[in-house]
Amino acid sequence: MNQKVVIAQDLPSELQAFLEGMDYDKLFILTDVNTHEKCYPLVKGVPRLEGAPVITVEAGDTHKSVEALSSIWMHLSTKGATRHSVLLNLGGGMVTDMGGFAGATFKRGIRTINVPTTLMASVDAAVGGKTGVNFNGLKNEIGAFYPPECVFIDCEFLRTLDRDNILSGYAEMIKHGLISSMEVYTSVMLYDIDTMNYRYLNQLVAQSVSVKEEFVEKDPKEQNIRKALNFGHTVGHAYESLSFQKNAPLLHGHAVAAGIISELYLSHKLCSFPMEKLSQVVYYIKEYYRPFAFTCDDYDALYELMTHDKKNEAGVINFTLLGGVGDVRINQQVSRAHILESLDFYRESWGG
């Protein structure tokens, strides 16, 4: 992984210094309509960004599509991008995922820089080199491993976020706590989202990023232990896809929070994850997140969605489960009966 991560203290000057050290012919900036309005003004004074063409796409995960990707390629092509150009992705996970894939594929690969503007992108999407677009109703079905040259993380952007988007990113931080150590887990579970201490959040973000980097460094292409980062996502992605089918889309992290509850139940049943910790996490998630409403009639659809998960092999649904905090068990094959029980457990946790 040739990827540098900078926890920025003074983003404009650090970005300027990094760009001065790069050799490129043209620089392009990718934003979505929200980040163009709220976040672009925070960087457009950087001398090296002056006059750079800005490509703007519609916001939201429903626009992380082949059509939007094609429009990015078209802009790059018509505005004279070459293999020596750079694409700076300024936005949340949707922008860094899609911009990363545009970079991976245009002229067989141009360099990218990620400046995540959401908590989700800072602790997850922008770091680790996974890129992609949604296709055929499935999350990130088309993509590539393509690390950016650098990721600049600045919690100042988080002040532009609403509570739901803060919570969305925080679910990934809960996951990082669960898969790493009691120390990280405890600091994440003690944070009071209602008071929003941004300075302390910056420290927690740096801690969360280093957890992810550690797993990515050991296993860049997700052949082995990097699968730890998928905890909560096998069921979580199914919840997310179902929410889109129901025209009541969940933000990614809200679906992951729901997936964590179901997969901790499976961890308890199959790997002896302690009930006391399971209850603690369920309590925390219930305190801050809203329930995702579904019924027994949705179980077949949810199971079918899980069969499309990219970690599966030979049609068997593969989970990452936990024996305890920091005790990661990858490649756990789980029966349909247990999976359905985990859906029951989620609904019962909310009294549904």
Q: Of 76, 134, 80, nearest to 104 (Cα)?
A: 76
pLDDT band at 2 (very low <50, low <70, confident <90, very high): low
Buried b (16+ CB within 10 A) or exposed e, 271-280: bebeeebbee
Per-residue pLDDT for 14 more than 60?
yes
Amino acid found at 160: T
Kindly give, in sequence order, each residue whose CB lies less than 8 Å from that of residue 247, ignoring residues fewer than 6 positions away: none
pLDDT tens for 62-101 read 899 999 999 999 999 999 999 999 999 999 999 999 999 9
> Which element (helix H / strand E) includes 299?
helix 299-306
Q: Convert the pLDDT of each residue in 99-156 to its tens digit.
A: 999 999 999 999 999 999 999 999 987 788 899 999 998 888 999 999 999 999 998 8
Q: Indicate whether 301 pLDDT > 70.
A: yes
- Cα-based distances in Å from 82 to 103, 107, 109, 163, 350: 11, 7, 10, 40, 53
Rounded Cα distance, 191 and 209, in Å: 17
| Tens digits of residue pLDDT in 217-276 | 999 888 899 999 999 999 999 999 999 999 999 999 999 999 999 999 999 999 999 999
Count CB neighbours of 12 within 10 A: 17
Which pLDDT score, from 0 to 100, does residue 127 have? 83
Per-residue pLDDT band at 352 (split at 50, 70, 90)? low
Q: Domains, the chain, ranges and CATH?
A: 4-160 (3.40.50.1970), 163-349 (1.20.1090.10)
Closest C-alpha to 172, from 117, 233, 214: 233
The pLDDT value given to residue 145: 93
Percent of the chain clearing pLDDT 70 (strictly above): 99
Average pLDDT across the chain, whole number: 94
Dig out the tokens for 214 from the structure. Answer: 């550690």
